[in-house]
Amino acid sequence: MPWRETSKVELRKDFAEAVLVDGVPMADACRLHGISRPTGYKWLRRYEAQGMHGLHDRSRAPKNIANRTPENVEAAVVQLRQRYPSFGPKKLRALLVKRSPGQEWPATSTIGEILDRRGLIEAREGRRRTPPSSAPLSHAVQPNDVWSVDFKGQFLLGSGVLCYPFTVTDNASRMLLAVDAYPSTKGGPARQTMERIFQKYGLPAAIRSDNGAPFASAGVLGLSTLSAWWLSLGVTHERIEAGHPEQNGRHERMHLTLKQETTRPAAADMMGQQGRFDTFLAYYNQERPHEALGQQPPASAWQCSVRRYPEDVKPLNYSRCDLVKTITRTGALKFRKNELFLGTALAGHRVGLTEIEPEVWLVKFAGHDLSLFEP
């Protein structure tokens, strides 16, 4: 039976002394302390033999563990790991079996536990990943509500050079706005394409992309140099969930048609491939019937945006902020004698600072909260 109080050692001492010192009968002492007579005799024997020390609970762990790895086997595992510090449990076991095939070696998982217990496994530093987007994806009802952008998977040209097609479509009308052949996925060329179609078609309300470069990064808000520029123009950046290309399904479906009609086989060089892309763009927009549009081509549902691309981009409005600062080329916000790193994606951009509590400042960029800091 359990003891009624939590201070078990003191209660056991009171019980033993009641019997041994005060002469209380065993049955009465057990009843008063809420224990059985066998339990009472057990604690009485321990108290007489060991005093207070005998009244503490003893470990219930078995003295001998049937499945415990023998010490000599564990020592062999540790010794081999120290000799080959880059070897994991699988390689260590394979080498042990090869060297001593007659020995019964522990399973790979047990070897891993041995290494962990001996402090021979170093935690790997996690790779920095793009933070997930918390904003929901919008539904495109009219042209220019949402544009989708992506670098279509690379392929080899006849010359052996890799080609990375950069593509832009309008989600509502399915209009293909750009297909440009580039030798890499760098953000500079992608920005050139975006500037060209901004000037030609105007600005969308939002641009949707995946979480890869050059559209996103592991920095604050997942911003890249390219997406920070979009925000500075008043264009929302939407990012699909990692591993869910179906969230950009319309754009992906266009990629399949693009691949089938322009890359099998590919052109001999980049210029020739761009010529194929230009021909495809005109055909796709002006002639090819689209099922979602009632078998009409995308151009029949397309119209330019009323939001024109400004020749002179106006500075972001921070009139409701207390201070305005420009991010350094190294991505730092300098404030008083302190520096707050916000990422090179924001280099050259202005941010607003608002003191929300005494010596607690909120940093904002293009309507987005970036960071709280205490200088």
Question: What pLDDT digit, counting tens, does each position of 342-354 carry?
Answer: 989 999 999 999 9
Mean model confidence pLDDT for the chain:
87
Mean pLDDT of 183-204: 95
pLDDT at 3 over 70: no
Assigned token pair, 375: 């200088």
Going by pLDDT thresholds of 50, 70 and 90, the confidence category of residue 22 is confident
Q: Are 113 and 93 in contact (CB under 8 A)?
A: no
Residue 123 or 244, more confident: 244
Fold agreement between 8-55 and 146-301: no
What percent of the chain lies above the pLDDT cut of 70?
A: 91
Ordered by start, the domain boundaries in the chain are: 8-55, 71-117, 146-301, 323-373
User: 169 pairs with which residues across the strands?
Assistant: 148, 176
Q: What is the pLDDT of residue 26?
A: 85
pLDDT tens by residue, 295-340 = 899 999 999 999 999 887 788 899 999 999 999 999 999 988 888 8
Q: What is the pLDDT of residues 269-288, one digit of tens each?
A: 999 999 999 999 999 999 99
- Give the pLDDT band of residue 45 (cuts 50, 70, 90): confident
- What is the average per-residue pLDDT within 49-69? 70
Answer yes or no: is pLDDT of 130 > 90. Answer: no
**Per-residue pLDDT, 124:** 56
**Residue 4 scores a pLDDT above 50:** no
Banded pLDDT at 263 (limits 50, 70, 90): very high
Residue 289 has pLDDT above 60, yes or no: yes
Specify the pLDDT at position 352: 94
CATH for the stretch 146-301: 3.30.420.10
Residue 180 CB neighbours (<10 A) = 20
Report the Cα 29 to chain-centroid distance in Å: 63
For residue range 80-123, what is the model confidence (pLDDT) as tens digits?
A: 888 888 778 888 888 898 888 888 898 988 888 888 888 887 66
More confident residue, 25 or 354: 354
Which pLDDT belongs to residue 63? Answer: 52
Question: Do 157 and 270 touch, CB atoms closer than 8 A?
Answer: yes
CATH architecture of the domain covering 8-55: Orthogonal Bundle (1.10)
How big is the CA angle at 279 (ends 274 and 283), to the nearest 5 degrees?
A: 145
Q: What is the pLDDT of residue 137?
A: 82
Confidence of residue 161 (pLDDT cuts 50, 70, 90): very high
Tell me: pLDDT of 218 over 90: no
What is the C-alpha to C-alpha distance for residues 274 and 278, in angstroms, rounded to an integer? Answer: 6
Tokens matching residue 263 = 């890359």
Closest CA to 179 of 262, 250, 57, 102: 262
pTM reported for the whole predicted model: 0.65
- Band of residue 65 on the pLDDT scale cut at 50, 70, 90: low
Mean pLDDT of the 156-183 span: 96
Distances (CA, A) of 283 to 21, 272, 310, 370: 106, 17, 30, 43
Q: Mean pLDDT over residues 200-227, rounded?
A: 92
Percentage of the chain with pLDDT > 90? 44
